Amino acid sequence: MTIKKLSTLVLTSFVCIMLLASCGPNKKERTLQDLEQQQQQLNQQAKDDQLQANNLTTDAANLDKESKADSSKSQYEKDQANVLNAEAQQNLSKAASLDAQIEKAKSDATE
């Protein structure tokens, strides 16, 4: 009797396990769900990457604009320095000419 009860219990347990397994999602459905979840994650990651790439492109464009503005300002300042140097050279030439005139005037005054 015990073997009969034991085999009935084993058979009943097996049937219950099979019923429980068939109630939940089967392997193909779980695989499909996993694939869909992976696809959603990859799509989200791609969107995040695209957003980051767009932000970096915008930042790079802004840096280019700043660099061009700084370059223009730098060139303007170099040009201004060249103008001031030219004016300084003219003033030194005029001063040297005045020195010669002063020396001549002193010489004329002492004679």
pLDDT in tens, 17-32: 776 666 666 777 778 8
Q: Residue type for 12, please?
A: T
Note down the domain range covering 88. 72-111
Using only C-alpha atoms, the chain has a radius of gyration, in whole angstroms, of 46
pTM of this prediction? 0.50
Report the pLDDT averaged over residues 62-69.
91
* Residues whose CB falls within 8 Å of the CB of residue 33, separated by 6 or more in sequence, listed in order: 25
pLDDT of residue 25: 65
Measured between its terminal Cα atoms, the distance across the chain in Å is 156
> 90 is written with which tokens?
């003219």
Give the three-class secondary structure for 111. Answer: coil
pLDDT of 69 higher than 70 = yes
Residue 5 maps to a domain: no
Number of domains in the chain: 1
Residue 57 maps to a domain: no
Residue 13 maps to a domain: no
Residue 99 maps to a domain: yes
Residue 48 maps to a domain: no
